[in-house]
């Protein structure tokens, strides 16, 4: 008994050791089997089954392609882990179109595994919705529409960008605009590439035909682009030419070429492009200045047609009828210096329209000999109610020792780092007013680029307090800021320069202070300075001449800047008595600022037949 008991204890001890060893091996193999099953599940649609020995078969489970076990008692944490991995994979998949039934591979695997679980009676995860193959449109069981916000799009560069609020992809889709002149842009791109490859292909003796084709296509494209800059200018067979150039470029790219040569050629083309851009920028500036300083063809036509009409049917001498009014100091006299028929007409029409008593208004239009007869014909054809209009030819005035050449108000452009201003000052012709109107004591001078919005009669009752010139000052500039333009002098650096446009002139005080003589003396003193332009000389002379002789008008009398400033408020325009279109963008030009043009057009007489004949439509 003793020996038998000892043998039984030894056998039990050996069995226990074997059991422990088996358990240790199982504990090592189970994680390995799980990992192998999960790994293989992402790369195949079959089942991965680990078959241990029969003694330990109960310790292993079978895993499908997504790591789900075939045992209904599988732990929920493992299934959740697999679902979490799948959800992390979704954002890197391409966006699924609505007409695509399933995503290749992943959708098939998901559906097959889901249907297999359902067939075996196993629980299906709540986020998986089984559906027939013919109508499936899901990713990981989730409907495509529900996960579109986490999908990604690819932009033009091929880079993935997420479609979400605030992203560039979403902004681009919402603000996408059709590209204009796409064929012209495509031609330029192809021409750029062909020029880069041509030198390398031309060095290959075996590719003489390709060289000729490239040269021919390059010449064709250069000729077409030199004749037109928009798709509408291109010939009808442009699509064939584009395809032909594309084929030639593709053949050129198929040959091994020296990258250094291509890089060198591209750099040369880039330098040429920079030079061309610089040239066009200078050309555009020149053409812009030419456009704003040259009378439009339609206005020149109008002046010429009016002049011809004047000589075809001579007018009655209306100057005799207004001779008495033109020298009567008790009336309201307005002076306009202009060579523009339409501009002068708008100034007079707007002034008369707001005057309380237009019969007391007398307008003196000073112009040159070229436009004199056209002006007279226009105001005879288009009278301004009962107001009187006298047209004077400055070149025929009887003034001794004076230059009678007509000069318009001078606009002096001042540019700083972040702003541009236009100062309008008197011209040489303004300093002839006391000689031209010896019997008048007070006049109101209006530039031809203004529009009157209120009655101006209160100006005649204004006490100038012994000053000569009543003017609106512009305090957006200070005289200290103009020293680099006008030089030093006895100026108050914080003083505001005065503006031409609306000026009430006391001719009696003008004669008393000898303003004209002072101006002429200052101009002669500065004529010897080689580095000064005529505009700079006029600005400095005018500021010095009227120093301490300017009476500041309230700023509501005149609002300037409508010829260059796009940010003038509608309320400021409404409150101003006069709108001054100083600057390059005059309202009668196509370059005029569109939102300010209606204030000017409102006083334009459009019924005259000559406007239609000359296609005048500012």
- The CATH number for 360's domain is 3.90.550.10
Query: Do 186 and 334 fall within a single domain?
Result: no
* Domain boundary residue, one of 102, 125, 147: 147
Q: Is residue 329 part of a domain?
A: yes
| Residue 540, in any domain of the structure | yes
Residues 6+ apart with CB under 8 A from 88: none
Domain membership flag for residue 480: yes
Q: Find residue 160's DSSP bridge partners.
A: 154
Are 267 and 213 part of one and the same domain? Answer: yes
- List the beta bridge partners of residue 143: 138
Q: Which of 147, 164, 199 is the last residue of a domain?
A: 147
Q: What is the pLDDT of residue 170?
A: 62
Among the listed residues 179, 278, 584, 169, the one whose alpha carbon sits nearest the alpha carbon of residue 415 = 584
* Listed residues 292, 318, 341: the one ending a domain: 292
Residue-level pLDDT at 84: 57
The tens digit of pLDDT for each residue in 244-273 reads 999 999 999 888 877 887 788 778 878 888
Question: What's this model's pTM, rounded to 2 decimal places?
Answer: 0.61
- For residue 224, being part of any structural domain is answered with yes
Average pLDDT of the segment spanning 310-326: 79
| Residues 5, 8, 14, 18, CA torsion sign | negative
Beta-bridge partner residues of 139: 142
The whole-number pLDDT of residue 290 equals: 81
Higher pLDDT, 435 or 315: 435
Q: What is the pLDDT of residue 534?
A: 76
Do residues 302 and 279 share a domain? no
Nearest-angstrom CA–CA distance, 186 and 313: 60
In a domain, 278, yes or no: yes
Would you say residue 157 lies in a domain?
A: no
Give me the chain's average pLDDT, please: 77
Domain region containing 236: 182-292
Q: Is the pLDDT of residue 104 over 50?
A: no
pLDDT, tens digit, 9 for 90 and up, residues 163-200: 554 555 666 666 666 777 888 888 988 888 888 888 88
- For residue 119, being part of any structural domain is answered with yes
Same domain, 199 and 258: yes
Which position has the higher pLDDT, 579 or 147?
579
**What is the DSSP-derived secondary structure letter of residue 590?**
T
Q: Rounded distance, CA 409 to CA 116, Å?
A: 93
Considering only residues 488 and 600, tell me which one the structure prediction assigns the higher pLDDT: 600
pLDDT of residue 54: 38
pLDDT band at 398 (very low <50, low <70, confident <90, very high): confident
Q: Is residue 473 part of a domain?
A: yes
Whether the Cβ atoms of residue 507 and residue 441 lie closer than 8 Å to each other: yes
pLDDT given for residue 173 in this prediction = 66
Instruction: Provide the number of structural domains found in the chain.
Output: 3
Per-residue pLDDT tens for 492-511? 778 889 999 999 999 999 99
Pair 346, 481 in one domain: yes
Give yes or no: residues 465 and 357 share one domain.
yes
Indicate whether 413 and 304 sit together in one domain. Answer: yes
- Distance of alpha carbon 233 from alpha carbon 392, whole angstroms: 49
Question: How far is residue 430's CA from residue 433's CA, in Å, rounded to a whole number?
Answer: 6
Asked whether residue 382 falls in the same domain as residue 516, the answer is: yes
Which pair of structure tokens corresponds to residue 316?
A: 């009655």
pLDDT of residue 35: 56
Do residues 329 and 438 share a domain?
yes
Whether residue 333 sits in one domain with residue 282: no
Residues 359 and 475 in one domain: yes
240 plus 335 within the same structural domain: no
Is the pLDDT reported for residue 8 higher than 60?
A: no
Q: Is 486 helix (H, G, I), strand (E, B) or coil?
A: helix
pLDDT tens across 141-163, in order?
444 433 333 344 444 444 555 55
């Amino acid at each position: 008994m003793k020996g038998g008991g000892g043998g039984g204890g030894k056998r039990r001890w050996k069995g226990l050791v074997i059991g422990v060893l088996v358990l240790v091996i199982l504990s090592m193999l189970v994680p390995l089997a799980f990992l192998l099953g999960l790994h293989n599940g992402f790369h195949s649609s079959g089942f991965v089954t680990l078959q241990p020995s029969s003694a330990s078969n109960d310790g292993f489970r079978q895993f499908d392609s997504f790591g789900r076990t075939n045992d209904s008692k599988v732990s929920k944490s493992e299934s959740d882990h697999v679902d979490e991995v799948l959800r992390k994979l979704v954002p890197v998949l391409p966006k699924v179109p609505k007409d695509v039934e399933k995503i290749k591979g992943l959708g098939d695997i998901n559906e097959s595994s889901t249907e297999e679980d359902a067939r075996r009676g196993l629980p299906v995860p709540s986020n998986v919705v089984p559906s027939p193959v013919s109508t499936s449109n899901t990713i990981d069981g989730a409907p495509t529409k529900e996960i579109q916000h986490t999908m990604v799009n690819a932009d033009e560069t091929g880079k993935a960008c997420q479609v979400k609020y605030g992203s560039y992809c979403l902004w681009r889709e919402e603000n996408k605009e059709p590209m204009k002149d796409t064929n012209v842009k495509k031609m330029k791109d192809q021409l750029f590439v062909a020029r880069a490859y041509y030198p390398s292909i031309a060095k290959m003796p075996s590719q003489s035909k390709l060289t000729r084709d490239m040269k021919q296509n390059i010449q064709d494209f250069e000729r077409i682009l030199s004749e037109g800059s928009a798709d509408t200018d291109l010939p009808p067979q442009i699509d064939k030419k584009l395809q032909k150039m594309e084929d030639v470029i593709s053949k050129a790219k198929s040959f091994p070429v020296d990258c250094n040569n291509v890089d060198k050629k591209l750099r040369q083309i880039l330098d040429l492009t920079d030079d061309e851009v610089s040239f066009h920028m200078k050309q555009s500036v020149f053409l812009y200045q030419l456009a704003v300083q040259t009378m439009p063809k339609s206005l020149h036509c109008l002046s010429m047609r009016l002049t011809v009409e004047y000589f075809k049917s001579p007018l009655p001498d209306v100057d005799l009828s207004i001779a008495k009014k033109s020298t009567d100091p008790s009336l309201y006299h307005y002076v306009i210096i202009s060579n523009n028929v339409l501009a002068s007409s708008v100034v007079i029409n707007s002034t008369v329209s707001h005057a309380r008593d237009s019969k007391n208004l007398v307008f003196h239009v000073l112009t040159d000999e070229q436009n004199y007869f056209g002006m007279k014909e226009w105001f005879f054809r288009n009278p301004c109610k009962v107001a009187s209009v006298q047209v004077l030819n400055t070149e025929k005035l009887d003034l001794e020792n004076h230059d009678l050449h007509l000069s318009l108000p001078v606009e002096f452009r001042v540019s700083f780092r972040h702003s541009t201003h236009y100062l309008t000052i008197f011209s040489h012709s303004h300093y002839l007013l006391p000689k031209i109107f010896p019997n008048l004591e007070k006049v109101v001078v209006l530039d031809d680029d203004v529009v009157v919005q209120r009655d101006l009669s209160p100006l005649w009752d204004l006490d100038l307090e012994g000053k000569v010139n009543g003017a609106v000052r512009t305090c957006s500039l200070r005289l200290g800021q103009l020293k680099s333009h006008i030089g030093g002098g006895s100026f108050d650096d914080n003083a505001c320069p005065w503006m031409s446009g609306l000026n009430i002139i006391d001719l009696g005080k003008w004669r008393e202070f000898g303003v004209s003589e002072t101006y002429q003396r200052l101009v002669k003193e500065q004529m010897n300075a080689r580095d000064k332009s005529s505009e700079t000389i006029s600005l400095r002379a005018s500021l010095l001449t009227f120093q301490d002789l300017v009476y500041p008008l309230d700023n509501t009398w005149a609002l300037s800047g409508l010829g260059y400033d796009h940010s003038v408020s509608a309320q400021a325009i409404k409150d101003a008595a006069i709108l001054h279109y100083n600057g390059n963008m005059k309202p009668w030009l196509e370059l005029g600022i569109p939102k300010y043009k209606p204030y000017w057009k409102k006083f334009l007489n459009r019924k005259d037949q000559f406007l239609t004949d000359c296609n005048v439509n500012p």
